Amino acid sequence: MAGHVRVSASSHATKVAGAIAGILREAPSVEVQAIGAQAVNQAVKALAVARSYLIDDGWDLFAQPSFVTIDSEGEPRSAMVFDVVRHARSETEP
C-alpha cells in the first residue's frame, strides 16, 4: 500500500475522506485502519465521501476489509483494515 490512514472514533469523516482522496490521486492504493466500532463507522463514512470526491477526477475506489492484529502499547488488539484501491470509472457507472 502506498499510503496509510488511521481513523479514530473522534475522526471527522470528511477530513479522513479528504486524506484518502488526496492519497489516491497520487498513488494507486491506501490502507485505512480503524480500531473499535465507532472508528470503523467513521472509516466507512469516510470511504463513501472519498468516492464522491474522486468522481470528478474520473476515479472510483474499491475497498476490501479484513481483520488484523496489531501491537498497541505492548498489547495485541484487533483492528479493521480496509485495503483501498482506485480504478478508472467506466462510462456506464452512475
- First-residue to last-residue Cα distance in the chain: 28
pLDDT for 78: 92
Listed in sequence order, the residues at least 6 apart from 90 whose beta carbon sits closer than 8 Å to its beta carbon are none
Listed in sequence order, the residues at least 6 apart from 35 whose beta carbon sits closer than 8 Å to its beta carbon are 8, 70, 72, 77, 78, 79, 80
For the question of whether the overall pTM of this predicted structure is more than 0.75, the answer is yes
pLDDT for 20: 98
Sequence spans of domains, the chain? 3-88
pLDDT for 72: 81
Asked if pLDDT for residue 80 goes beyond 90, the answer is yes
pLDDT for 94: 59
DSSP for 25-90 reads HHSSEEEEEE-SHHHHHHHHHHHHHHHHHHHTTTEEEEEEEEEEEEEETTEEEEEEEEEEEEEEPP
What topology is assigned to 3-88 in CATH? Translation Initiation Factor IF3 (3.30.110)
CA distance 18 to 6: 13
